[in-house]
């Protein structure tokens, strides 16, 4: 596979075309941002960590029947993915109250929700990614009602698989964000990344934050925290291979 010209540069990764028009080359960046770019820092080692964590999670989800865009990890900071037409929605699933949910509804962080809640945010930087409902998604022609049902179904399935996976490594999946794309034949498929940048993970024993809140809330350094998440995932895969 040959790397060609830059297609897109985001806050945490760059995407390049390849000699195969259905495949993209992703390069993770050593950059961390929050508050829609209001906080921005270089963090040496973050690219490697998120690329490895995302790759491991997408591979795991594929084994659980969740089709996704991931093809293969190329190097510590690079991976190949299938090109998808991304739906401009952040699909958030919540198991425990935290973050914007707690603020918006006036509920303390840490309340276990009786059933997971799926939310949609419209990905539009100039509007600050507003919280929207199904009718808004349809009105904006981001997805049809049938596709909305599919997005929710897959988001909840992903939640089940991820909650179980993280529980095995003593992490509680509080909430997370995923993005979906359409394949050439119009099927909805998981895309983007799943990492401590996009999930809230609380240590089951110490209740410490093991995710980007460490940066957002200026609690400490994210690198050792993300490294610990990767170590635990690697340990789990070694144990599984040994079985
Ligand atoms: N999230 C994300 N990207 C965003 C916004 C949120 O990955 O642009 C993730 C975030 O890490 C958390 C979940 O989505 O796991 C819910 O975030 P929330 O709405 O609580 O917003 P926040 O408090 O992070 O601003």
Please report the pLDDT score of residue 219 as a whole number. Answer: 97
For ligand 1, atom 23, the nearest C-alpha belongs to 99
Q: Which domain holds residue 43?
A: 3-82
Boundary residue ending a domain (54, 82, 110): 82
Answer left, alpha or beta for residue 36, where phi above 0 means left and psi between -120 and 50 means alpha.
left
Reported as a single tens digit per residue, the pLDDT across 120-163 is 999 999 999 999 999 999 999 999 999 999 999 999 999 999 99
User: What's the whole-number mean pLDDT along residues 196-202?
Assistant: 98
Distance CA 200, CA 195 (A): 9
CATH number at residue 135: 3.30.470.20
Distance CA 1, CA 99 (A): 41
Please report the pLDDT score of residue 102 as a whole number. Answer: 98
For ligand 1, atom 13, the nearest C-alpha belongs to 176
Are 99 and 55 members of one domain? no
CA of residue 241 to ligand 1 center, whole Å: 33
State the DSSP code for 144: -
Contact 129, 92 (CB under 8 A): no
Are 201 and 93 members of one domain? yes
Report the number of distinct structural domains present in the chain: 2
CB atoms within 10 A of CB 125: 9
The yes-or-no verdict on residue 3 having pLDDT over 70 is: yes
| Residue 140 tokens, joined | 């904006």
User: What's the whole-number mean pLDDT along residues 168-197?
Assistant: 98
Residue predicted with more confidence, 130 or 237: 130
User: What's the whole-number mean pLDDT along residues 208-233?
Assistant: 98
CA of residue 144 to ligand 1 center, whole Å: 24
Please report the pLDDT score of residue 237 as a whole number. Answer: 87
Boundary residue ending a domain (17, 49, 82): 82
Please report the pLDDT score of residue 241 as a whole number. Answer: 79
CA of residue 176 to ligand 1 center, whole Å: 7
Boundary residue ending a domain (48, 82, 116): 82
Are 122 and 201 members of one domain? yes
CA of residue 232 to ligand 1 center, whole Å: 23
* Distance set, CA 18 to CA 15, 54, 80 (Å): 10, 21, 9
pLDDT band at 215 (very low <50, low <70, confident <90, very high): very high
User: What's the whole-number mean pLDDT along residues 75-85?
Assistant: 98
Q: What element of type H or E holds 120?
A: strand 112-122
Residues near ligand 1 with C-beta < 6 Å?
90, 92, 98-101, 129, 175-177, 198-200, 212
Q: Is 0.75 surpassed by the pTM of this model?
A: yes
CB atoms within 10 A of CB 1: 12
Please report the pLDDT score of residue 243 as a whole number. Answer: 57
pLDDT band at 209 (very low <50, low <70, confident <90, very high): very high
CA of residue 5 to ligand 1 center, whole Å: 30
Q: Which residues partner with 179 through β-bridges?
A: 191
């Amino acid at each position: 596979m040959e790397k060609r010209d830059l297609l897109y540069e985001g806050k945490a990764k760059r995407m390049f075309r390849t000699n195969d028009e259905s495949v993209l080359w992703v390069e993770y960046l050593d950059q961390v941002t929050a508050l829609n770019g209001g906080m921005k820092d270089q963090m040496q080692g973050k690219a490697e960590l998120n690329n490895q964590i995302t790759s491991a999670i997408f591979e795991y989800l594929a084994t659980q029947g969740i089709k996704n865009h991931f093809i293969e990890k190329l190097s510590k900071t690079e991976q190949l993915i299938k090109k998808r037409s991304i739906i401009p929605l952040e699909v958030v699933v919540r198991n425990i109250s935290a973050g914007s949910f707690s603020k918006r509804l006036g509920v303390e962080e840490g309340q276990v929700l009786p059933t997971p809640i799926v939310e949609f945010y419209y990905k539009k930087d100039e509007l600050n990614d507003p919280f929207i409902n199904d009718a808004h998604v349809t009105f904006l022609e981001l997805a049809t009602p049938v596709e909305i049902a599919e997005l929710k179904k897959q988001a909840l399935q992903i939640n089940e698989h991820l909650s179980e996976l993280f529980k095995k490594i003593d992490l509680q999946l509080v909430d997370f964000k995923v993005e979906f794309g359409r394949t050439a034949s119009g099927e909805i498929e998981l895309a983007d990344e799943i990492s401590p940048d996009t999930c809230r993970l609380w240590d089951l024993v110490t209740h410490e934050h093991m995710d980007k809140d460490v940066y957002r809330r200026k609690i400490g350094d994210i690198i050792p925290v993300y490294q610990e998440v990767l170590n635990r995932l690697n340990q789990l895969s070694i144990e599984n291979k040994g079985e």
